[in-house]
Structure 1
Amino acid sequence: MRFPTAEGEQRYDAVVGVAARTVVGLDFDGTLAPIVDDPARAHIHPDAAAALVDLASEVAAIAVITGRPARQALDLGGLEEVGDALQAAGKELFVFGQYGNERWSSGRRRILGARPPRGLATFERDLPRTLRQAGADEAFVEDKGLAVAVHTRRLPDPEAAFERLLPPMRELAHRHGLVLEPGRAVIEARSAGSHKGLVVDRLAAVLDAQGFVFAGDDLGDVEAFEAVEELGKQGIAPLRVCSASDEQSALVELSDVVVRGPEGVIELLGRLASDARARR
């Protein structure tokens, strides 16, 4: 755990001071769960559940905000069990899937979601041709229901395939009225108008937050980081945490705290809980 600037350390201390009114938002892949070749085999860090339950006793609420479908995050993360523990302690766990298009909470226990965006079906129909033309027809295509993701991680040269695919996929998405979300060896096409920053804003308002922590690892988390920074201008204590990796460094310059992968995130959550407890 390191603070790139003195301001980052000051922001951490400010969040500790208002921990009881702080919302903690967390990405899933690369933040709570290590990145793996097969997205269906991702699981949260073995110490994550205990860390979340411990932290929940010191903060207002915890939210997992992910590009994954909410059901996937719940199942792969064992988050329904975590929600049970938080509910028993009088706290709530929120899960926002597909960049906020799906919502679940430990209090309601039902996934509320939007309809698939117009253009997604025709995008998916035209996608194989785009993959063939880019020499990436063996890329793994993941149908998320409300989005389509193309993973290059399993290909012989993932980075080269990613770079070849990005321009034609961007053009294809634009043609079908979709937006493109590049990530770590993955390119996702989804509807416009929903992103993690909007979820941050909504949670801060609904929960009347005095502090907001968000931890992420990839380009899909940039809007959440920007939203947290804006909350800071409104008098809410902000803290942006980068789960750093060798693959992606885009968030480092935007961060108040930099940790090393999911293990570093879990250590940070433990320290935050401990420092908040000591400050009570």
Structure 2
Amino acid sequence: MGTHTTDSTDPTNPMDPLPVPATQAGRDGLAALLASPRTAVIGLDFDGTLAPIVADPDQARAHPEAVPALAALAPGVASVAVITGRPAGVAVRYGGFAGVPGLEHLTVLGHYGAERWDAVTGTVSAPAPHPGVAAARAELPGLLDRAGAWPGTWIEEKGRAVAVHTRRATDPQAAFEALRVPLTDLATRHGLIVEPGRMVLELRPPGMDKGMALGEYVREIGAESVLYAGDDLGDLPAFAAVDKLRSDGVPGLLVCSGSTEVTQLSDRADLVVDGPAGVVRLLRALAAQLG
């Protein structure tokens, strides 16, 4: 349903054109945002949307032009929310969001909304960790050994969640598929769920997802329009939340940060852009329109 922009424009060019969504619902969402930007929420995933996907998630950093684009756009809208599976504090560090003029009211909803960082206070608020995460983490090394070790597969500690990455395995997709069932069984035993992503399986507590986080935040702000951009399976609930908001009379624009690894989002999106560089161009074009 979406349409691709191109990477032919200079990523530092402030005069990037504003792309046209492929769907009527998307065009209505964009028109509502432009007509009343100070009642609009901009929701953004982090990895794959603001930050390029890298082999080692600890090396992920926001696109170099992402923060300047956000700082140009944020003062003109009701709020910008980064919604991520990462711990909120990690996303803030890797994004470079703290102390940036123009981003005083940026919010980061980490661990799918279980944690929250607000730029205005610079602090993270969060509930107590789920005990099942520590229990599952303790069993993971033995489980991976029994599954055949899968050279290159590794465990990422995420505080309130734990993830198994297969991107560096000899056959990433085969490792991903082989581990899906045993990891799901492990998660179930400890009261957790498995969140699949781009060559990663994350074990985390149930009860929150990006859709719930986005919907609650939009209601908190009292937003009258919403844009959400994401790239992975974990962003599908946020897409569904925007669909629900649309049915309730709140216009919305769904943006896919394009990926050949995940087609479910591009099939649902109103607009498909070319990865984080394309997201940056979209944010900058919106800022120029509002300026």
Shift in alpha-carbon separation, 1:204–1:65, aligned structure 2, 3 A: same
> What are the equivalent positions in structure 2 for 1:118-267 lying under 5 Å apart?
118-138=131-151, 139-267=153-281
Residue type at the aligned position of 1:173 = A
> What are the equivalent positions in structure 2 for 1:23-172 lying under 5 Å apart?
23-82=41-100, 84-87=101-104, 92-138=105-151, 139-172=153-186
Paired residues of 1:136 and 1:161 also in contact (CA < 8 A): no
Question: Which SS does the other structure have where 1:81 is aligned?
Answer: coil
Paired residues of 2:227 and 2:252 also in contact (CA < 8 A): yes
**1:117 Cα deviation from its structure 2 partner:** 1.0
Q: TM-score, normalised by structure 2?
A: 0.89
**1:221 Cα deviation from its structure 2 partner:** 0.8
For the residues of structure 2 that align with 1:269 and 1:121, how far apart are their CA atoms? 38
For the residues of structure 2 that align with 1:111 and 1:242, how far apart are their CA atoms? 28
**1:229 Cα deviation from its structure 2 partner:** 1.2
1:276 aligns to 2:290 (yes or no)? yes
Please, which moves more after superposition, 201-210 or 113-122? Answer: 113-122
Paired residues of 2:43 and 2:227 also in contact (CA < 8 A): yes
**1:4 Cα deviation from its structure 2 partner:** 3.6
Q: Percent identity?
A: 46
Residue type at the aligned position of 2:271 = V
Count how many residue pairs are aligned between Structure 1 and Structure 2: 272
Listed as ranges, the gaps of 5+ residues in structure 2 are 6-19
For the residues of structure 2 that align with 1:111 and 1:137, how far apart are their CA atoms? 36
Paired residues of 1:135 and 1:161 also in contact (CA < 8 A): no
Paired residues of 2:115 and 2:124 also in contact (CA < 8 A): yes
Q: Residues 95-132 of structure 1, C-alpha deviation per residue, up to 9 Å, x if partnerless?
A: 11111111110112111112221322221122122212
Paired residues of 1:17 and 1:276 also in contact (CA < 8 A): no
Residue type at the aligned position of 1:174 = T
Residue type at the aligned position of 1:167 = V
Structure 1 stretches of 4+ moved >4 Å: none
Question: Which SS does the other structure have where 2:76 is aligned?
Answer: coil
Higher relative contact order (CA 8 A, sep 6+): 2
**1:81 Cα deviation from its structure 2 partner:** 2.9
Q: TM-score, normalised by structure 1?
A: 0.93
Residue type at the aligned position of 1:85 = G
Aligned to 2:27: 9
For the residues of structure 1 that align with 2:28 and 2:131, how far apart are their CA atoms? 45
Question: Which SS does the other structure have where 1:80 is aligned?
Answer: coil
Q: Residues 205-224 of structure 1, C-alpha deviation per residue, up to 9 Å, x if partnerless?
A: 11110111111000111111
Question: Which SS does the other structure have where 1:43 is aligned?
Answer: coil
Please, which moves more after superposition, 263-272 or 13-22? Answer: 13-22
Question: Which SS does the other structure have where 1:149 is aligned?
Answer: strand
For the residues of structure 2 that align with 1:151 and 1:271, how far apart are their CA atoms? 35
Question: Which SS does the other structure have where 2:170 is aligned?
Answer: coil
RMSD over aligned Cα atoms:
1.4
**1:137 Cα deviation from its structure 2 partner:** 5.0
